[in-house]
Structure formats: C-alpha cells, structure tokens
Structure 1
Amino acid sequence: MTNRPLKALALTLLLAACGGGGSAHDTTAPAAGPGDTRVAKHLFGAQAGPSAQASEPIGAYSRGCQSGAVQLPETGPTWQAMRLSRNRNWAQPVTVDFVQDLSRTAATLPGWAGLYVGDMSQPRGGPMTSGHASHQTGLDADIWMRPATRLNLTAQEREEISSTDMQRAEGAYVRDAWTPQHEALLRAAAQDPRVARIFVFAGAKAAMCETATGDRSWLAKVRPWWGHNTHFHVRLHCPPGTPGCAAQDPVPPGDGCEEARQWVAGILNPAPADPDAPPPEPRADLTLADLPGQCMGVLASD
C-alpha cells in the first residue's frame, strides 16, 4: 500500500529542489502559477509510474502532460519496445492501441516480423529530460525504420542496437535500404483516422511522392522534418471527450509533395549563411508555469 504522507512529502521536496525558484528547505505545498520557474523536465522525468487518474492528454504536444497513462508492454507478438532504460514506453490508451495495430500490419510485410518501437512518452508525459520537444501528452510515438526481424531481443540488446539511417545526401534522398515495405508501412499509418501527422525526413517524403500510386490522399499527413531519418514520428489526434487536449492544426491542402521538393532543393542548394546573423538562442527549458495547471495535479497524484 502506498504511504501517501511520505509520498506527498517526497514530491514536495523534489518540486522544491529541482526548480530554479524553489528551495530544498521549502515545505509548503507546491502550486504552479505565473512566475513559477521550477524546471518541468526534472519533475516529470523523475516520475517512475503513471498518475492514478482517468486517462487524458492535457495541453499541447510540446507543452503539456498526460494523466492515467498506460504502458506498452515491453514485448508483444508483433512488437518490441526499445531503449527500456529510458522508461518512455508510456502513452494514452489510444496510442498504445494504435502502435499494436500498426505492428500487426508490419508483420504482414515481407521481411518484417513487426515493429521496433522507440520513444513514446514518460509515465506522466511532460517535457522530457532529453531528445524531444514534443511527446508530452501521450499522443506521439516513434517507429524505427529498422525492420523488426527478431522479436526476442534482450533488454541489453535493445540498448545496444540502433535503427537504420535511411537518408542520403543529408536527407535529400533515400538510401538503398529504403524499400517498398517502408512506404507501405507509412501509408498504413497515415490512412489510420486516428493519425494527425507523420514526420519523416524530406527525401523519404519526396521519394514516396514519386512512387505512390492509387489514392494518394494519405501523403498529405506525411510531413518533412529534420531528424527523422532513423524513425518516423506518428502523432495522433486528440481523442474524443478530452477538452483539455490542444488539437493539431489541420494539414494544409494538397498532398504536400511540392513542399517536400522545396525541402530537397534547399538541402541540395542551401542559401548562403549570413555572416552578420546573430547565433540562435538556446531553447529555454519549460517551467511549471508554462504548462497547464492540471499538470500539477498529475505530478501530485498517487
């Protein structure tokens, strides 16, 4: 049985110690609000399990949290969760269902036994300690480009092996490792009505624009973005009945292929750097004040 007084005291001390505006000697109950400068990623990254609340994505994909998360089992008939030490195989129930459904589709493709699943979300969502700006509400999942040929990887193997880098020429083109099965998997994901967006490197989108046949409407959901050359990133719509979830903007009209070609042209012929341009400022860490107020309840929940 959970010792609630001790847990509450521990959380209070953690909230105070991890934030820029708190003190480890402050024993008052934490309350987020304007000016609360405690760094959110430290607090959410320290949570080992989900909140004892109803399942709900809260806030925006890059500025939120999740209550009542469920865990994708580490191994299933057609998937394995990777990098278990990160404890990021948590998400909303709709996301776990989607990943399992997509893995069953993957298992029907030649050379694939299922999926290797990368980062989803932390147990209570929120900003991650490393690696992502989004994945905060339990509605994002990274799917490895490496075909899952073995589904009996040990925990150690899942830490050591890497996915396959599919990009060539800094992302302008795909490598020979790209196969029709990759396109079929992305098509299946994009055609799922639960999916709002899929992010992949520009060369992959441009390649699919050249080879996709039949109904090409699914291409609209596939968007080029940096850093998605070893995995593709699936983002789901807010589920019905979750008013606290900030919806993704609708995809622009058209199939997005001209945008992908422009990305490729920019990679191959980048604009000259402006020597007088100031260096970009580092992205500031999100604080508790930056998140919806409900996220304090998520942190404080058993």
Structure 2
Amino acid sequence: MTPRLILIPLLIAIAAASASAAWAQDKGTVDAKPLPPLANPNDPKIAAKELFGRKVLPAAMPTRVFGFYAHGCIAGAAALPINGDTWQVMRLSRNRYFAHPDMVELLKRLSEKAHKEAGWPGILVGDMSQPRGGPMFTGHASHQVGLDADIWLTPMPKRTLSRNEREEMSAVMMVRNDRLDVDTKVFTPGHLAVIRAAALEPTVQRIFVNAAIKKALCREAKGDRHWLSKVRPMYGHDYHFHIRIKCPPGSGAECESQPDPSESEGCSTGDLAFWFKDSVLHPKPPPTPPKPKPPMTMAALPAACKAVLAAPDAKQ
C-alpha cells in the first residue's frame, strides 16, 4: 500500500478524534504574543510545528508546493488580504491566512459568487495555511501546503468586523441536535448555492462537510448535480466547510494530490449509512486511552522544507 493510501484513513481517524469541538469555534486573542526563541532549533527531535509556527512571513522563494496536504510545506505563499468587498478573514491571531496564489484567487472569486448567487454580503474565511505551511500547533492535520481553506457557514455581516469580533465571534452551528440532519432554522438555500459554487470551480478536488449537510445537499440540489461528487462527508465541519484544491499545474512530483473522488453523487442510503450509525454519532471512549502520537518532525516532511524554513522572509 502506498504512503498516500495509508495516510487517507489516518486523516479520518485524526479528524474523528478531534470532532468534539469545531476548530472554527476556538477563540483567538487580540493581544497575541510572539513565541519565544527555541533553545536548539536544529535538534532533529524537535516538532516541526515549533519551527513552522514561528515563521510569521512567507519564504522569499518562487511559489512551489512540497509534499501532501498533511505532510508538506509551501514556498512563496500569498496572503489573502484580511478585508475585501465580499470577504473578511477571521482569527487573525492564528496567522493562517496564507496559501498558494491559486487558492487566494479562488477565494476571491467564491466570495463574489456568494454575493451574487446566494445573496450573502460575502464570506468569512477561517484557517488557510501558515506563512510557510507545515504542521500547526492546533486544529488541523492537513492545511500544510497552501491548498486547503475553511469557509465559515455564517454569511459575512454587512459591516467590517472589529479585531475583537474576529477573535471572539462564533460561527453558527448548522446541524440539528440529534446530528441526523441540518437545522432548517439556519441552513438555507444560500448555503447550498455557496457550496455548489465552490464545487463547480475546476481546480477544487474535494469539499468536506458534516454528513448532515451532505444529506441536505443531496436532498435539495436540483438540475445538474455532478458537483455533488466533490462534496464529501467528514467528521466535524458543521460550522464551516473545507475546500481542497488540486496540485497547481506544473507542480510535478514534488506536490502530491489526492486521487480524484469517484463520479458518484455519494447520495445513496448506502453512501451515507456509515455516518449516521450511532457508534459514529456518539462514539464511546476507548477502555484504555490511546497514547499521544509523537509530533511530526522535519524528517517526516519533504527535504525541500528545510530550505523553505531557512529562506529569508518575503517582503510585506
């Protein structure tokens, strides 16, 4: 079995273990303090997240993606401006609003479509990637190569949010208390329109949503439904949806995409049955708590990521 095929179920297991609280809901801080210097940053046993989490700006290198969504980095990342006519970036203290330029442009297009097609003032953008990608201190196994982004399922307000609101505001829960369907008081046709607009982008490979949201999309989508094949159920994702794009053209072997999803809509009873089993909706804790996995070190990342870390900061 290839490393990629081993990793995909591993990511699912990680997501399942982390589903108790939506990552988008974790609050930030207005008064973020820089991390202290590492005593020995060249120690091969040091966690890669300690190194990448201390980089506040992208690498001054040509844009290139190295590795897979859950073990890699990015050189020459671009920042999504924190304010646009039809978008605003949330949780600024995390410094996770960087990505491949293709993703940045996609989010700008999607925000305009959300305004025109769904009637939203715009979108609220959650975590993208760190300035140089790599593992994060909290919240994600993926988002390491600038090809992932989270979009809140809460429409952007008709005003500019304050810094404090961006750190403290919570997204709206879209899933019913019994976890079997969406909450129709808050989930609207506009949500379907925004997710469909994202899925229709040619470079988008997958969109992750809670299974209850996938169920609602399957029920409500009309006309051309081929885009539903890209929308995949995943643990959590009940406050936001996750966009994943393919490796950019010309990336070569240094960037590794997931295999394309099947062309099936994924809407049959059999397709969704697993996600609504009681053991999945209400998992019991294991008799013996699992031992924490050791953090990822630089040895687990592509060799090129060392050069990405060592490169000078890009100019702001």
Q: Give the TM-score normalised by the residue count of structure 1.
A: 0.85
Decide whether aligned partners of structure 1 residues 268 and 204 sit closer, same or farther in structure 2, where only a CA change above 3 A counts. farther
Distance 2:46 2:107 in 1: 33
Q: Does 1:246 align with 2:256?
A: yes
| Partner residue, 2:266 | 256
Q: Does 1:114 align with 2:122?
A: yes
Distance 1:137 1:281 in 2: 27
1:168 counterpart SS class: coil
Q: 2:193 aligns with which of 168, 172, 184?
A: 184
| Partner residue, 1:129 | 137
1:17 counterpart SS class: coil
Question: Does the CA contact (< 8 Å) of 1:171 and 1:267 recur in 2?
Answer: no
Long gaps (5+) in structure 2: 1-35
Shift of 1:47: 0.1
Distance 1:274 1:137 in 2: 32
Q: 1:286 aligns with which of 283, 286, 296?
A: 296
Alignment of 1:45-56 (within 5 A): 45-56=53-64
Amino acid at match of 1:129: F
% same residue? 46
Q: 1:215 aligns with which of 197, 221, 224?
A: 224
Shift of 1:280: 3.4
Decide whether aligned partners of structure 1 residues 270 and 199 sit closer, same or farther in structure 2, where only a CA change above 3 A counts. closer
Q: Does 1:196 align with 2:198?
A: no
Question: Does the CA contact (< 8 Å) of 2:226 and 2:263 recur in 1?
Answer: no
| Partner residue, 2:25 | none
Decide whether aligned partners of structure 1 residues 52 and 187 sit closer, same or farther in structure 2, where only a CA change above 3 A counts. same
Shift of 1:254: 1.0
Q: Does 1:97 align with 2:105?
A: yes
2:242 counterpart SS class: strand
| Partner residue, 1:83 | 91
Amino acid at match of 1:197: R
| Partner residue, 1:301 | 311
Q: 2:276 aligns with which of 228, 249, 265?
A: 265
Shift of 1:274: 9.4
Amino acid at match of 1:297: A
Shift of 1:167: 1.0
Distance 1:88 1:68 in 2: 14
2:238 counterpart SS class: coil
Task: Name the Cα RMSD after superposition.
Answer: 2.2
Amino acid at match of 2:217: M
| Partner residue, 2:40 | 17
2:135 counterpart SS class: coil
| Partner residue, 1:58 | 66
Distance 2:94 2:110 in 1: 22
Distance 1:190 1:131 in 2: 24
2:40 counterpart SS class: helix
1:159 counterpart SS class: helix
C-alpha deviations, 1:109-129, integer Å up to 9, x for none?
Answer: 455111100000000000011
| Partner residue, 2:170 | 162
Distance 2:242 2:37 in 1: 32
Shift of 1:39: 0.6
C-alpha deviations, 1:161-189, integer Å up to 9, x for none?
Answer: 11111111453210120000101111111
**Bigger radius of gyration among the two:** 1
Shift of 1:149: 2.2
Distance 2:281 2:55 in 1: 42
Distance 1:270 1:261 in 2: 12
Question: Does the CA contact (< 8 Å) of 1:105 and 1:185 recur in 2?
Answer: yes
Q: 1:43 aligns with which of 51, 58, 72?
A: 51
Distance 2:293 2:255 in 1: 24
Shift of 1:148: 0.9
Decide whether aligned partners of structure 1 residues 255 and 154 sit closer, same or farther in structure 2, where only a CA change above 3 A counts. same
Shift of 1:213: 1.2
Question: Does the CA contact (< 8 Å) of 1:14 and 1:43 recur in 2?
Answer: no
Question: Does the CA contact (< 8 Å) of 1:114 and 1:148 recur in 2?
Answer: yes
1:206 counterpart SS class: helix
Decide whether aligned partners of structure 1 residues 260 and 180 sit closer, same or farther in structure 2, where only a CA change above 3 A counts. farther
Number of equivalent positions = 274
Shift of 1:134: 0.4
Shift of 1:130: 0.7
